[in-house]
Structure 1
Amino acid sequence: MNTLTRRLYAARAQQAAAPLGATTGRMPTAATTPATAAATAAPAGEHPLAAYRVTREPYWRAVGDEVALYEAAYSVRMPMMLKGPTGCGKTRFVEYMAWKLGKPLITVACHEDMTASDLVGRFLLDANGTRWQDGPLALAARYGAICYLDEVVEARQDTTVVIHPLTDKRRMLPLEKKGEVIEAHPDFQLVISFNPGYQSLMKDLKQSTKQRFGALDFDYPEHEVEAEIVAHESGVDLETAKKLVHIAERSRNLKGHGLDEGLSTRMLIHAASLIAQGVAPLAACRVALVRPITDDADMRDALDAAVTTYF
C-alpha cells in the first residue's frame, strides 16, 4: 500500500457516516485531493465527504458549450472523459463543475503502481483487529461524489477495469474481498481524463472502457482568451500576459519538431506569477517556461530567442 493510500484510509477512519450538512469552510483550495483531505480530515461526526466539498468558486473561462454539455451529462449521470494536452484546464474544469453542481469531488492521480485495491478499498489491521476501509472510488460511489481519475491511462488496464460496473446501467461496485456490492449513490458520477498526445499501444484505454463514456475535447484557448486567463490567475497586466501567450504559441508550433509538448497555460501562469512578484520577465521565463520543458541546448536557445523577442 502506498503512503498516499494509507493517509487517505487513516483520515477516513476518523469520520462517521452522519448526514451531510453545511460545508466545512476549512478548505484552503478549490478542491481537495486524497492527500490534502487526509491532512484536513473532518472531525468525528461529520460526513465522510465533508472534506471533499468545493467551498470556493474556481475560476473557469468558458470557451464553448462545455459547461452546458457537462451539466446535461451529469443530469443523466453519464460517465465523462476529458481529453486534451497537459495544462490546458481539464482538472480545473472538473473542480468548477463540482462547485457549480454543489457536489463533493474526490480526485485520484493515477499512476502505474496503483492497484485495484487502491481504488476500491482493502482490509486493514488495527488495535481491534481487522476492518474494511473504503478506497476513494468506493467512497464516492457509496456516499455520492464526483470521482475524478486524473491521467487514467497511467494506471494498469487490470486496475481500470474495476470501473466498468459503475459505468453502465448497473451502476454498482463489487467489493469482492469484502463480499459486498455497493449500489452507486444517485449523485455519483465518474470522470476520467488523459492526454491523447501521450497515448501509445502500451498506454491507451481499451475500447470496452472508452465506449462507456461521453467525451469532451479540450485544447489551449485562442490567444485573447488565454491571455485573459493568464492575467486573471497570476495578477500580471494583460499586455504581459499576451506576450507570454505569443511565446507559448511559438513553442506549440515546435511540437513534434524537438518538443513533445508546447508550453501549457499552466506554465504561462507560473511565469506570470513570478513576474507579478517582481522577477524580471527574462528570468521568470527561463525558470518557468524554457528550463522545465527541455534539456536540449539548441531547443533552449530557440525558446530563449522567442522570449527575448517579446521581453
Structure 2
Amino acid sequence: MSVTNSSSGVRSPSRAPFYRAVGDEVEVFRAAARRGLPVLLKGPTGCGKTRFVEAVAHELGRDLITVAGHEDMTSADLVGRFLLKGGETVWVDGPLTRAVRTGALCYLDEIVEARQDTTVVIHPLADHRRELPVDRLGVTVPAAPGFQLVISYNPGYQSVLKNIKESTRQRFIAIELDFPPPDAETEIVAHEAGIDPDTARVLVRIGNAIRNIDGSPLREVSSTRMLILAGGLVAEGLGLRRAVQAAIVETLSDDGDVIRALGELVDALLPAP
C-alpha cells in the first residue's frame, strides 16, 4: 500500500493505489477493520475518500465492491432482485449482498444521495448482528469473515433534507478527511498527474486561493482531484494557464462574472512568463 505517514463492481488491484496519509486515518481504519466495525468517511468532494478506501482495501487484501449513491437508488439496487433470464425468473444478488456473502469490503459512496428508507437496510450489518435480511428470499445472510461496510458523504454539501440519520450515524466509526496540507497535496498532484513538483506547487497554490475566497459564490471548491486533472493536461503538453481554465475555472461555475473573477485570480498567481 502506497501510504506514507508524513456504478458498482469488484476491484482487487494488483498494484497498490497511491495514497498519501496526512494524519492517523490509516491507523484508525486498521483498528476498525480488525473488529469488523463499519466506517463513515466525511469530507469534501475530491479530497481522496475513494482513493483512501481503495488503498486500505488493497493493504488488507480485500476485494472492494463500490456503489455510487444516487437519488433513485432503492434497497433492491443494494440487496438484489428477481430478473427474467432465458424465460426463467432468477434471483440476482445486489452488490451489498455479494459483499456480505464473500467477505468483501463494500463502499457505499455518497450514501445520503439515496432515499433514506434505502439506508435502513444497512442497519443490521452495521451493528452487533452483522447480518443482511433479504426479505424477498425470506432469508437472513450472515456477514462472511472479512466483510466490512464503509460509507461516505460530504457534510458541507448536503442539504438539511439530505443527511445521515442519527440511527445510522451512531453505528459507525467516523473518520474525517480534508484537503491535504500544501506540501502533501503538492506531492500527490505531482505523483498522480506525472508533472514536476514546481508545477504541482503552482496548482496547489491556485487551489488553496480558490478555497479561501471570502464570501465565495461557488457551491464546491477546487478539489485535489481537479488539480490532478489540470496537471494531467499539462503533462500532455497543454499550457498551464489553459489547463487551469479547462480543468478548474470552467468546471467550477457557469456564471460569466464568476469565471472572469476566477481567471483574474489565477492570472495573479501564475509565475511570470
What corresponds to 2:164 in structure 1? 205
Specify which of 246, 261, 264 is matched with residue 287 of structure 1.
246
Letter in 2 for 1:118: D
For 1:255 and 1:74, locate their aligned partners in 2 and report how far apart those are by CA, in whole Å. 40
Residue 3 of structure 2 is matched in structure 1 by none
Instruction: Give the counterpart of 1:185 among 144, 147, 166.
Output: 144
- 1:307 alignment counterpart: 266
Superposed, which structure 2 residues align to 1:54-93 within 5 Å? 54-93=13-52
Question: Paired residue for 1:19?
Answer: none
User: CA separation in 1, counterparts of 2:35 and 2:87?
Assistant: 42
CA distance in 2, matches of 1:307, 1:82: 31
Whole-Å Cα distance in 2 between the matches of residues 234 and 113 of structure 1? 34
The residue number in structure 1 matching 2:70 is 111
Q: Tell me if structure 2 keeps the 8 A contact 1:54–1:103.
A: no
TM-score of the superposed pair, with normalisation by structure 2: 0.94
Does residue 120 of structure 1 match 2:79?
A: yes
- Equivalent position to 2:210, from 231, 251, 261: 251
AA aligned opposite 2:119: T
TM superposition shift of 1:254: 2.4
Unmatched tracts of structure 2, length 5 or more = 1-6
* Root-mean-square deviation over aligned CA pairs: 1.2
Cα distance change, pair 183–281 in 1 and its aligned pair in 2 (3 A): same
User: Where does structure 1 differ by over 4 angstroms across 4 or more consecutive aligned residues?
Assistant: none
Compute the displacement of 1:256 (Å). 4.7
Name the CA distance, whole Å, in 1 between partners of 2:11 and 2:232. Answer: 27
1:163 and 2:163 correspond = no
Q: Identity of aligned pairs, percent?
A: 55
The amino acid that maps onto 1:130 is: T
Once the two structures are TM-superposed, the CA of residue 242 in structure 1 deviates from its matched residue by 0.7
The secondary structure found in structure 2 opposite 1:133 is strand
Cα gap change, 1:129 to 1:147, in 2 (>3 Å): same
Unaligned runs of at least 5 residues, structure 1: 1-32, 38-50
The answer to which structure, 1 or 2, has the higher relative contact order (CA under 8 A, 6+ apart) is 2
Residue aligning to 1:222: 181
Task: Tell me the matched-pair count.
Answer: 264
Structure 1 residue 112, shift from structure 2 partner: 0.5
> TM-score under structure 1 normalisation?
0.83
Letter paired with 2:53: V
